[in-house]
Structure 1
Amino acid sequence: MATRSTIMDTNSFRPEMAAALDPETRRLTEERDVLGPAYRLFYRTPVHLVKGEGAHVWDADGTEYLDVYNNVASVGHAHPRVVEAIARQASLLNTHTRYLHENILKYADDILSTMPDELNRIMFQCTGSEANDLAVRVAQAYTGGEGVIVTAEAYHGNSALTSKLSPALGTAQDLGLTMRMIPTPDTYRLVIDGKPASACTAEEFGGWMAAEVRKAVADMNRHGIKFAALLADSIFSSDGVYPDPVGYLQPVIDTVHELGGVWIADEVQPGFTRTGDAFWGFERQEIVPDLVTSGKPMANGLPTSLMAARQEVLEPFAGSIPYFNTFGGNPVCMAAAQATLDVMCSEDTMGNAKRVGAIFKQAVTDLMPAHPCIGDVRGAGLYIGCEIVKPGTKDPDQAAALDILETLRAHHVLTSVCGRFGNILKLRPPLVFSEQDVDWFMSAFTDTLQELGL
């Protein structure tokens, strides 16, 4: 393989690892040849999962694992209220949105009620890629521009348009000629005007990022490209999980608007109560975007996504171009999304993310003195990044991070990595993660570090 994708290849099985597998696992990996070579499996020894409940999953041998990675099953694997809603609606009708149906209208009203009043229109798709694809088209129609700014290790989808806005897919993926990248807002390593970024105020850090946006737009202008949008995930998850300081994105969005662009908030990762401080990641950052997209967490595993918009931003596109998505907004997916939203409210997943996330983050932080391979621990709610470095430096240590993942897997704990160097443990469990689950993870993590001599 000539190039490697940080989001796909870092923690992945490769065919040359097959010799070490048991016969059944090897058979299954070989039979996946029918799927072609583009897919990836996690781990040197792939996990064959057959069942899930809450934040726990079981493999084909009945071994129980702790899921510390899955934001798709946002309210927990196989949540009974979601399962019942899917089954009930599937037994009645499933069709597209060119017929009237109440499910889509009720969910539209309910999910928009969680957003600022300025965001008052919504459209539904099946995947986050589709939602981001549509949002970019809407932004371009509204501004009359083509140029889109993303961060250096962003991932925004796998459609023809969004893959060109996703540097995390690797250098084999051509990036858009009208796209520009700005640096990752790395509060661990950046130095701004002689001051460590971690010591900067929100205004100072936001000023740095706004200046980077100005540079990117100036370069667009030099090449005859009109600026359309900044597309960003407010926790910068693929870049390495950078949620703070709170408030620093306000100068950035002000600059985007001043330069004639719009802000597209990609909420697939930080939305739906994940940060514990607000329902949406952009809300935690105290900004009101022009367009919002989300996907994976909203229907607890069914393929459902959304694009919400300010009416005036949507109008130039929607008022002239008909839009139809056969499965987007279908009654079964809307029933699943409604049930998921109802569970988030009735079971207070935001409160759980805040409370358990704080316990989780502090527990990982407390390991730092005894384990200098942990260079930084950052996060919000149930989204934590644990940076693995060479002790005494800030140099990323991908090899150690991958060894940690594999040893955690041996302790029946599943997670993965993110960031440009693939050295940041990405701890992003279902929102029902409990204090007992934290205890399980910490026991496995402590044992892992000791076993590896880290």
Structure 2
Amino acid sequence: MEKGKLDKQETLSLRKKHIGPSCKLFFKSDPLKIVRASGSYMYDEEGNRYLDCINNVCHVGHCHPHVVSAATQQMAVLNTNSRFLHDNLVLYAERLTALFPPKLSVCFFVNSGSEANDLALRLARTHTGHRDVITLDHAYHGHVTSLIDISPYKFNHPGGDGKPDWVHVAPVADIYRGKYTDKDYTIEQLSEKYADEVKMLCQKSSKEGGRVCIFYAESMQSCGGQIVFPPGYLRQVYKHVREAGGVCLADEVQVGFGRVGSHMWAFQTQGDDIVPDIVTLGKPMGNGHPVSAVVTTREIAESFGATGMEYFNTFGGNPVSAAVANAVLDVIENEKLRENATEIGNFLMQEFRQLQKKHELIGDVRGQGMFLGVDLVKDRETREPATAEAAYINKRLKENYVLLSADGPYRNVLKFKSPLVFSLENAKELVSKVDSIMEEMKQVEHCVNGVVEQNGATEKPSSKSKKHTQWITK
């Protein structure tokens, strides 16, 4: 072992000793120690190479040389408090806002998606004078207290306190396994029915005296299971919320910066006329460097400033962060990563739908660009989620040097969100290995005793399954 380096067990021991126990690791029973990365690959301490289908943080590829160079060059010259004038900040703000509809022209730079969403709530409350928040079921918007309060993904799960009285939860517009599905309604009907749920919450809020301040939603919901809203949904929702005196937020922390391929921002896939009042950005903005932003209207920004309370963020938009963020945009544009997201995403959708014809385990394939979900089921008619099977597939993929995750309310959705540099060769490797593992499962499928581990949590599959199969993942 190299002098001064810890072996894996030493690293794990120190982590257990000094890092909070609620900070969980992927693959708890056999966590990976990653020591370097490049492009679409990550490498462990033994030199094993893993195909990264899980990392939406390193958006333009791990350790991209252009991004690394921008950071090191600026760090060698200056990094300081954002309250000094510096060209990097204003030039990046000009470039960033040019990528949005003209109405969205003012930036607040912060350090994380959580910080962006927290500030957005302050902006909305100041501007509207209202209190109440409408959020979507299964949503997650960040780890700070204000956002745990509006994230059912947290407050409805172990350790959560439930929702505050000023939070109203609308069913997510999941047309496959939501409150209303494509079994019973057309796409147009589904858009209207899910939007009407938000309308009713607006009316409820007004009657109770709180009044709607803001509607929070990821433009495509990630933690809920890679959900793509039916066409027309956001148009109707935004209309209802604005009529109630609220504003509308598009959380692009997971899906922004060209991940959907066809557009820079996922909210644009709902129509050219769909313009939120506030957009929050995070993870991909700095390719792993901590930089994020709130982009909003001049009107909302001036309402916030009119209170007389000064807002400053010591590190938000500092010279190094702005240089890094600018370099990320360079790479997206120069390497045509939006076009790559479309090409590879279309290929993966096509191939996963071919696998769907072959494997009854696949109930639904959905998504756009490099934001895809494969919903696994025990029975296609009942759509009973195949939680244990998803966990088993992820375990076997890891053993075959591919990193993927599962999410959704039942943790049965294989969740693809790789760096945008993912290649056709990478895509073929992923599909081939998923296919091979599903074939393997057909051959060995039988009843066994055991529990299933999924990213540190243990679960037993539903006893309602006809086959009662439990897949051991340890």
The normalised TM-score by structure 2 is 0.88
Is 2:172–2:178's contact at 8 Å kept on the other side of the alignment? Answer: no
Q: Separation in 2 of the partners of 1:259 and 1:67?
A: 43
Give the match's secondary structure for 1:57. Answer: strand
Match of 1:94 among 68, 72, 79: 79
Match of 1:215 among 200, 213, 227: 200
1:24 deviates by 4.9
Q: d(CA) in 2 for partners of 1:116 and 1:200?
A: 31
Residue 434 in 1 paired to residue 423 in 2? yes
Distance of 2:10 and 2:170 partners within structure 1: 44
Say which of 25, 41, 65 aligns to 2:25: 41
Letter in 2 for 1:38: S
Q: Is the 8 A contact 1:206 1:250 kept in 2?
A: no
CA contact under 8 A between 1:25 and 1:46: conserved in structure 2?
no
Paired AA for residue 160 in structure 1: T
SS of 2:293's partner is strand
Q: 2:312, 2:148 → 1: CA distance?
A: 21
Moved more, 219-228 or 272-281: 219-228
Residue in 2 that maps onto 1:9 = none
Q: Say if 2:350 is the partner of 1:362.
A: yes
In 2, the alpha carbon distance for the partners of 1:53 and 1:195 equals 41
**Where does residue 289 of structure 1 map in the other structure?**
276
TM-fit CA distance, 1:447: 1.7
How far 1:391 sits from its partner (Å)?
A: 3.2
Matched, 1:304 2:288: no
Cα distance in 1, alignment partners of residues 400 and 10 from structure 2: 24
- Output one character per residue of 1:49-73: Cα deviation in whole Å (capped at 9) or x when no partner: 1111111111110000000011110
Structure 2 CA distance for aligned equivalents of residues 285 and 214 of structure 1? 19
Q: Indicate conservation of the 8 Å contact 2:257/2:285, yes or no.
A: yes
Deviation per CA, 1:161-203: give whole Å up to 9, x if none: 11111111224223333111111211112474x9636x623x4
Task: Give distance in 2, aligned partners of 1:400 and 1:88.
Answer: 47
The 1-side partners of 2:54 and 2:349 are apart by: 15
Distance of 2:76 and 2:335 partners within structure 1: 27
Residue aligned with 1:51, SS: strand
How many angstroms does 1:26 deviate by?
4.1
Pairing 1:53-64 to 2, within 5 Å after superposition = 53-64=38-49
Distance in 2, matches of 1:86 and 1:120, equals 26
1:285-322 per-residue CA deviation (whole Å, 9 max, x = no partner) reads 12100000010100111001100001112221123221
**2:412 pairs with one of 411, 423, 440:** 423
Q: State which drifts further: 391-400 or 282-291.
A: 391-400
Give secondary structure in 2 for the equivalent of 1:66: strand
Could you give the per-residue CA deviations for residues 132-157 of structure 1, whole angstroms, max 9, x where no partner exists? 00001101111111111111100000
3-state SS, counterpart of residue 355 of structure 2: coil
Q: 2:93, 2:344 → 1: CA distance? A: 30
Question: 1:247, 1:182 → 2: CA distance?
Answer: 17
1:40 maps to amino acid: K
Alignment of 1:142-181 (within 5 A): 142-169=127-154, 170-174=157-161, 175-181=163-169
Cα displacement (A) at 1:371: 1.1
1:222 positional shift? 3.9
Cα distance in 2, alignment partners of residues 177 and 412 from structure 1: 46
Tell me the amino acid that sits aligned with residue 36 of structure 1: G
> Which string of whole-angstrom CA distances, capped at 9 and with x for unpartnered residues, describes residues 363-386 of structure 1?
111101221111100000001001
Instruction: Give the count of matched residue pairs.
Output: 429
Cα separation, 1, equivalents of 2:303 and 2:371: 36
2:13 aligned residue: 30
3-state secondary structure, aligned to 1:243 = coil
Q: Which of the residues 284, 305, 315 maps onto 2:302?
A: 315
Contact 2:81 2:315 in 1 (8 A): yes
> Taking every aligned residue pair, what percent have the same amino acid on both sides?
38
Q: SS state of the match for residue 368, structure 1?
A: helix
Cα-to-partner distance string for 1:13-47 (whole Å, 9 max, x where unaligned): xxxxxxxxxx9544433321211111010013111
TM-aligned CA deviation for residue 449 of structure 1? 1.2
CA contact (8 A) 2:174 2:228 kept: no
Deviation at 1:244, TM superposition (A): 4.1
Q: What one-letter code is carried by the residue in structure 2 that aligns with 1:253? A: Y
2 CA distance for matches of 1:297 and 1:87? 19
Q: Structure 1 residue 111 and structure 2 residue 96: aligned?
A: yes
Matching residue of 1:406: 395
CA distance in 1, matches of 2:186, 2:218: 21
The CA distance in 2 between the partners of 1:176 and 1:95, in whole Å, is 39
Tell me which residue corresponds to 2:465.
none
Aligned amino acid, residue 11 of structure 2: L
Q: 1:325 aligns with which of 313, 318, 324?
A: 313
CA distance in 1, matches of 2:268, 2:357: 34
Partner secondary structure for residue 389 of structure 1: strand
User: For residue 312 of structure 1, what is the amino acid of its counterpart?
Assistant: E
**Local SS of the residue matching 2:21:** coil
- The match for 2:254 is 269
| Corresponding residue number in structure 2 for 1:448 | 437
Contact 2:173 2:230 in 1 (8 A): no
- What amino acid sits opposite 2:262 in the alignment? D
Q: Which amino acid aligns with 2:386?
A: D
Q: Distance in 1 between matches of 2:317 and 2:211?
A: 33
Mapping 1:122-133, distance limit 5 Å: 122-133=107-118
Q: Give me the whole-angstrom Cα distance separating, in 1, the residues matched to 2:254 and 2:136.
A: 15
CA deviations on 1:215-254 (whole Å, 9 max, x unpaired) are 2223323433121000000111111112243333111111
Contact 1:151 1:239 in 2 (8 A): no
